[in-house]
Structure 1
Amino acid sequence: MNTHRIRSPELEHDFVRDTKLGYEPEGTYGYVRCLEHGVPNPLVRWHYHEEYELHLIIETRGKVFVGDYIGHFEPGHLVLTGPRLPHNWISTDIPAEGVPLRDVVLQFSDEPLRRATDLIPDLRDVLPLLERARHGIEFFGMSDRARERLVRIRSLHGLKRFTEFLEFLGELSECSDYRLLSSMPLQSFDDDTSLAQISTIVDYITENSASQFSMAELSKRVGMSESQFSRYFRRATGNTFTDFVNRLRVTRACQLLMETDRYITNVCYDAGFNNVANFNRRFLEIKGMTPKEFRKQGEARFGGGAPRQG
């Protein structure tokens, strides 16, 4: 019998952010909150929250889960996750006595910073970084610098901490050696009208990814020829129309594989693919593993079974 056991990420509420877990005490910080913790720790779980989180691994190796991304981490692993993006780091080499300091973390809210960019034009340089963070960003070659910045930020308060944070945010926004982990961003370009049209189509595809539609049908919706639509679509999304749809459907399949026990055949059709062979081939191309392997590896995001409360 096929069940539908839900394995959704846990929403982290502010009231669980106890100093015993590694958080700074309420009232001792301003816009930027610091967190340090070792393993084992109740914070190590499949979860999400409203804040951005910059996460630096100090010790241990293991598997990292960000959205539908599954990868490996080691000391120096530096990732920025955006609001409500599920994530977890599962260490696989914890000694019997545990590790006192595994993670150094910064958390900061979305709305105040975006409102500030409306009032202070100089801050707008960070907006592309914030957009990329919605999908999770792994930075390369910045771990030593990040450690220095994070230690300094934690030691400062008030305006000095905020100034140091902004300088660090500026460095991250200028870093060109990075990769997006969970999915694809929508890139802007000069033709605002065409971008708006493509954005409308992207929204439609996202909401109806399990339905069957063709590029010819969607290009007619925005009054473009297929060749014109194809050109603008690739420029806006960084993908061909077919690749984008396949990636979106694979992302949906990943969610179903991680959060339900539906048979893989059912997941194939629920995600919008019309035959299992094509589904398996596209999934392997995009995720580097089969759907079965993905589901098996995804089980580890809870650290061994059901999600823990923390």
Structure 2
Amino acid sequence: MHAPTHRRPPAPELEHALLRNPDLGYEPPESGGFLRCLDHGFPNPLVRWHYHDEYELHLIVATSGKVFVGDYIGHFSPGHLVLTGPRLPHNWISTDAPPEGVALRDRVVQFAHEPLEQAAQHITELREVLPLLERARHGIEFFGLSDLAYSRMEHIRASRGLARLAAFCEFLTLLARSSDYRLLSSVQLQSFDDDESLAQINAVVSYVSEHCAEPLSMAEVCRRFHMTESRFSRFFRRATGNTFTDFVNRMRISKACELLMQTDRYVTNICYDVGFNNVANFNRRFLEIKGMTPTDFRRQAEVRFGAGT
């Protein structure tokens, strides 16, 4: 009996100006400058595991789901605001979008590093933003800025010339001075530069995401993707910053977080729902990854994410 075949996901690409089609939500090329604005809905071809050379300020306007930033796996909902650094892989996957999709899910501003770094050498005031850019290498999630971010990003998008740059610098100042944030990825990942490797890791991550609540072994995944275990281990660690087992555990804990926030199921039941077969191990892994117990997470989530309100 042959194993079922799965369609290979489209190969994600390094985004660059030639691929940024206005039909996908980007601004027309003639309006481009130091800043590039993007609004798009869901589904959209841009929603994939990808990276680019620019920083990206990313605001979720609608839907909830899973966010991947480097080796971080978490939950997002409307108001989720993240700044990613150059070549840091990322993706937002909506899990509750209606069948017809949504017209506006993401509001994005992209900008390059070199102009800011060079300008800061001559304009002392700009040096205030450099620590923020350093932190962005790991991805930064900001809290308490959702409404402000929406209006400021709308203002940036609607402005042109020096007025646009001034609006951007004003918003960047608020982010640089914000103390209510967390870093997401524990390491700055090294992205693959060839499409074949990018396609492979995209396929592996998609498969693990889909099947993480089931018994899942590295040997099985290696067979499915025709790789030896030693090569797969090196490949997977380089791409995700995690061992295969750690990544599966993170996926399962991420799903557990969703259930803790969105349901009233007992912690013991959630443990088995997400693929753990031992409550003690589940509690230990949860504490390692989230820095708190499942019960504490549920309690804090009710405040931070508004669960149950």
Provide the residue aligned with 1:120 in structure 2: 123
Provide the residue aligned with 1:16 in structure 2: 19
Where do 5+ consecutive residues of structure 2 fail to align?
A: 1-7, 189-232, 249-281, 292-309
Structure 1 position 162 matched with structure 2 position 162: no
* RMSD (CA atoms): 3.3
* 8 A Cα contact 2:66 2:95, kept in partner: yes
Provide the residue aligned with 1:223 in structure 2: none
Which residue of 47, 50, 73 corresponds with 1:47? Answer: 50
Q: Report 1:1-310 matches (<5 A).
A: 10-183=13-186, 255-256=236-237, 264=245, 285-288=287-290
* 8 A Cα contact 1:36 1:105, kept in partner: yes
- Of 27-36 and 9-18, deviating more is 9-18
1:197-220 CA-partner distances (Å, limit 9, x unpaired): xxxxxxxxxxxxxxxxxxxxxxxx
- The whole-number CA distance in structure 1 between the counterparts of 2:86 and 2:238 is 22
Where do 5+ consecutive residues of structure 1 fail to align?
A: 186-251, 268-279, 290-310
* 8 A Cα contact 1:50 1:84, kept in partner: yes
Provide the residue aligned with 2:266 in structure 1: none
* Distance 1:9-1:167 versus aligned 2 partners, 3 A rule: same
- The whole-number CA distance in structure 1 between the counterparts of 2:244 and 2:82 is 32
* 8 A Cα contact 1:52 1:82, kept in partner: yes
- The whole-number CA distance in structure 2 between the counterparts of 1:138 and 1:97 is 29
- The whole-number CA distance in structure 2 between the counterparts of 1:132 and 1:259 is 19
The one-letter code sitting in structure 1 at the alignment partner of 2:115 is P
Give how far 1:287 is off. 2.6
* Distance 1:95-1:129 versus aligned 2 partners, 3 A rule: same
Corresponding residue SS for 2:109: strand
- The whole-number CA distance in structure 2 between the counterparts of 1:286 and 1:70 is 14
The one-letter code sitting in structure 2 at the alignment partner of 1:287 is I
Give how far 1:16 is off. 1.2
Give how far 1:37 is off. 0.1
Aligned residues with identical type, % of pairs: 61
* Distance 1:142-1:253 versus aligned 2 partners, 3 A rule: farther
- The whole-number CA distance in structure 2 between the counterparts of 1:113 and 1:258 is 28
* Distance 1:184-1:282 versus aligned 2 partners, 3 A rule: farther
1:268-299 CA-partner distances (Å, limit 9, x unpaired): xxxxxxxxxxxx9997654359xxxxxxxxxx
* 8 A Cα contact 2:57 2:84, kept in partner: yes
- The whole-number CA distance in structure 1 between the counterparts of 2:78 and 2:135 is 23
Count of residue correspondences: 206
* 8 A Cα contact 1:47 1:87, kept in partner: yes
Structure with the larger RCO, 1 or 2 (CA within 8 Å, 6+ apart): 1
Corresponding residue SS for 2:152: helix
